[in-house]
Structure 1
């Protein structure tokens, strides 16, 4: 009953064009529930400015297959997808790498495109359904991505890509054989030809490579921890003073991250920042608005970056707006392109351009957009150069 009421409150079935928007809303409702953000609205604003609505939507990459009857969009499956993302446990990492790289329609929770009878041929992975994959041989066909649907790999099978193993299986990092993830207390390291390899642990576990060499549970709130490499906490928690804790709320004390680090830690909820010099005690405060003082870009609100800061010398910068479509960019300019844009130098001076992902529509000459890295505009679509496998 709660699920039905939830769907009714959302306005019924999820249309294809609205999938990316609804996915972001669901992920942000979860982020608020799990304590990453105090308000889902702040999360939605961040995710939109990072381009997640477009990245996690369907775009136009399957339009030809839908029009030709090779695929069918299932609005009820889209409802289930959105509800699953909203209600998923805080212990899981979402979205997955497959959702970003191949499209959310390739993930178990969000199989919203239903393959129709194509005689066993395929032009993308989703055309083969959940139990098969699209086997494409680049040596035989570099003009298109046409392949044949084959059963996914079972235990012990060697597959050309991790996504081609059966559900519940993952590839080993040494032999690429499909295998079940290592369970709690199972050995997760081994040596092959003198080189160490890490074996994949089951969800919710990590490989204690420097200690027991066994898969151990990620730390829950209140349990002991020692950082990412020693004894990490589960998602949405942070390791503070040797204990896994929820992210701190506005006004709470916090230890500021190393402002010179490429991967700074965060103790505050994500619409906040820790107002203090590197590795000193501070207070969680709302992120700075445009032209506010900053030590690094985590201090600035979404859509802004920290310009001219030199934290190693104790020099603050100023929060400035990221460059938009058509704005100048390049190594000699301090301003960087906004999330979801790329600095293209195809036509003289570098400008920030919208990134068109693989499979989406394009034109040979695009002044305000560019195909994503590794692809080019061929036959009206951004197409990967001689791909090793179909997506």
Structure 2
């Protein structure tokens, strides 16, 4: 953990009121490690995440990629991260697009996974992700999908593409120029073709990471983010999920940290840590970051995956598995309560054996109706497809089925 990261977490912990008694520092993992330990334990068969739709669990490639990047950001659980990366490399076809289909966001996200894991993005499961991503750039600089089911590329996929190509040797200037087209208020939109331009916290969080990485000015976007921060440090989503939540707050925290807005970043981390399940919660939930103030539910996996990089303050331009530990320590708790209580911090009071480990049963991932990290409406085929490709659910066949029906 870097000095600035440690300072942000220390400030955040100091701001939390009403926490449980604090155990000795060497008895408990830090917040990011505790969250990573829980998150690694959610991998089905130890290799991938799932999303449930109409009562059926499907492999979720994008969330699996987010988990790998979160574990890398936390600097722990590399046995789990490596297994998940291998699964992604072996099962990327439908997610990336097969035949004449190709999805920009999926290519960019998997390229970032390969880069963070020290794998070759030009030969990831036999696929040259960089060449295929570059081929999706249009004359305008936008990275667009190729599919009979529609173009679901948007502000987040554009930022991911710029980040991936920057790490691969340099993002094209026209692609960066296209990304840098901000709304009049300084933020960035999720839906590229939407008029009037409506800024989105998630899209702005990704855009700031990309702009800072390539040396472009992101001050107006950072100002806009600070203006959207609530008194408790949290950030809101967009319609149809406009409430303050850990997904959007995690992305904003990362952007604020890499943009040098340390005070605002520390406030965001405070919000996240207040939603981390501690030893007063159920054993299966300890370490997780709840989606919102409602407490632990099926959205916690996605929320935790986006919260960890925010707690650590590491950009997708720099996240790396180098030097990361093979395992992650879970919380050590004296008892296992039988009833759920509101999430608190990661502090515990004893040193009994941990019940949350990096290998274990799967807590269900979010149902599609619960996905709110992109702010795209779920239901119509276009909205669902955008969410799946961007948020990364890898359930494109659901969209195909709806188009065919």
Q: Which has the higher contact order (CA 8 A, sep 6+)?
A: 2
Flag the structure with larger Rg. Answer: 1
Fold agreement, TM-score > 0.5: no
Query: What is the TM-score with the length of structure 1 in the denominator?
Result: 0.31
Higher helix proportion, which one?
2
Query: What is the TM-score with the length of structure 2 in the denominator?
Result: 0.30
Higher strand proportion, which one?
1
